[in-house]
Amino acid sequence: MAHDHGQSKGQETAAAVAARSAIGGFDGYDVTDVALGDLMRGERATLGKSLLDVERELKIRAAYIAAIENGDVGAFSSPGFIAGYVRSYARYLAMDPEWTFRRFCEETGFYGVHGPSAQQARDAKRMISDAPPRKLDPNEVIKGARISFAPKRDSLLSGVEPGALGSFAVLIAVVMGLGYGAWAILHDIQRLQIAPVDQAPLPLAQLDPLAGATDGAFAAPQGFDIAMPGPDTLGRLYRPEALEAPVLTPRDGALATLDPDEVGTLGGLDRASSREAPRLVAAAGGVEADEPAAASPVQVTAARREELVVFAVRPSWVRVTSASGATLFEGTLNRGDSYTVPIAEQAPRLRSGNAGSVYFAVNGVTMGPAGPGATIARDVELSADAISANFAMADAQADPDLPDVAALVLSVDGTQ
């Protein structure tokens, strides 16, 4: 028995030495004193691999790799895959697969599906079946794993290269240069340059510098009255509108009454004898000659329409509508307020309350009122002819407030 015990002990020592030589050893440090999971984690850290890297390369879930390193047999869904996973992971770490699986079985008490004895198989099955079923989250397994080496996260500036910064700066400079060039071109296009003209202005060109260079030209002081042309804005604004066809006044007189000295091509010439000839001839015959018919001017512009203004002496409601029924003005005219009736082909209509306080001004002449007292004036035609025909001149004695208000309204209307 002692011999067998010594022989088995020698075989075990030889196996341990062979295992240490298989995994490379740790410089004299006994690998039997280090857990298998720590050895595997150390080898994985030496390779610089994470659990996810091992999962991608071995096609084994990271949760199972972490369970092998932690010696957790209950994490596997089926015990038939444990041996294959352990051996595959050992080959990946360049370790002896058989020694690794045997060491795993010694530390975890797992002997595979067909162990050395039926009792061990039943014990292992009982241990696996007694383990509470639980769902493993790969993220939790990775977080709980004792990882001695993990890849560092890249910092924000780790991916920035100096060459990229230089290219970006050049791009910004090019964009700014193009923008400035476009702005300069646009500014140059919109610039207005005034160049001097060789031609002299009109008033200076009309003056002859040698006009007074004659004998005795400077004997007396000379004066020049130069009429500088100026814009006649108001004249153009209030100029009567030209007619499409001139209005001709028919001549009812006889042709013999026309004086060729006054009309025609020879009109305006000073011919005294010609003007006296008809009278002398008529005196010789005993007949008085009629005065020659004056040439009637031809009307080529439209006559200015008469202006009509509605104003109130006291607050009165007024509504002015066009001939088509559209409301031109509606509101309350207070004391001194006025409304100028617009020019239209058809005269507008007036409806007013407190008609005794509403008056009309036709070309500066006050007419009215629109009605007696506080009555309502309806359908009053707002035209100069209709107002002059239907209303009499306003009586200042009947309304003491009328003179002041009329003077104010007419003065304001005159300035406009």
pLDDT in tens, 366-408: 988 988 888 899 999 998 888 988 998 888 888 888 888 888 8
Evaluate if residue 297 carries a pLDDT over 60.
Answer: no
What average pLDDT does range 55-73 have in this prediction? 87
Q: Is the bond leading into 369 cis (omega within 30 degrees of zero)?
A: yes
Where do runs of H (alpha helix) occur along 233-353? Answer: 233-237, 272-285
CA pair distance 367, 387, nearest whole angstrom: 7
Residue 317 three-state SS = strand
Evaluate if residue 174 carries a pLDDT over 80.
Answer: yes
User: Which has the higher per-residue pLDDT, 222 or 246?
Assistant: 246
Dmax (CA) of the chain: 198
For the chain, the domains span 13-144, 258-269+276-301, 308-415
How many CB atoms neighbour CB 314 within 10 A? 15
How many CB atoms neighbour CB 260 within 10 A? 13
Q: 349 φ, ψ to 5°?
A: -120, 150
Long-range contacts of 112-116 (CB under 8 A, 24+ apart): 112/79, 112/82, 112/83, 113/79, 113/80
CA 348 → CA 327, 387, 393, 409, distances in Å? 10, 12, 21, 21
CA 336 → CA 153, 314, 315, 408, distances in Å? 88, 8, 9, 7
Q: What is the 3-state secondary structure (H, E, C) of 123-137?
A: HHHHHHHHCCCCCCC
Contact criterion met (CB below 8 Å) for 323 and 284? no
What average pLDDT does range 40-62 have in this prediction? 88
The dihedral built from the CA positions of residue 379, 384, 386 and 391, taken in this order, carries a sign that is positive
Lowest mean pLDDT among 28-37, 168-177, 210-219, 265-274: 210-219
Mean pLDDT, the chain, rounded, equals 73
Evaluate if residue 44 carries a pLDDT over 60.
Answer: yes
Evaluate if residue 238 carries a pLDDT over 60.
Answer: no
Interacting residues of 170 by C-beta distance below 8 A, sequence separation 6+ = none
CA pair distance 325, 296, nearest whole angstrom: 42
pLDDT at 246: 73
The amino acid at residue 118 is A
pLDDT at 306: 72
pLDDT at 364: 83
171 DSSP assignment:
H
Where do runs of H (alpha helix) occur along 190-241? Answer: 202-205, 233-237
pLDDT band at 185, cuts 50/70/90? very high
CA nearest to 39, candidates 108, 85, 81, 94: 94
Provide the whole-model pTM.
0.32
CA pair distance 363, 406, nearest whole angstrom: 12
pLDDT band at 137, cuts 50/70/90? low
Element (H, E) at 7: helix 2-23
**pLDDT (tens digit, 9 = 90+) per residue, 299-330?**
555 555 578 899 999 999 999 999 888 999 99
Evaluate if residue 67 carries a pLDDT over 80.
Answer: yes
pLDDT band at 68, cuts 50/70/90? confident
What average pLDDT does range 345-353 have in this prediction? 90
Contact criterion met (CB below 8 Å) for 49 and 155? no
Q: Give the CA radius of gyration of the chain.
A: 62
Q: Quick one: tokens of 398?
A: 């009947």
The dihedral built from the CA positions of residue 96, 99, 102 and 103, taken in this order, carries a sign that is negative
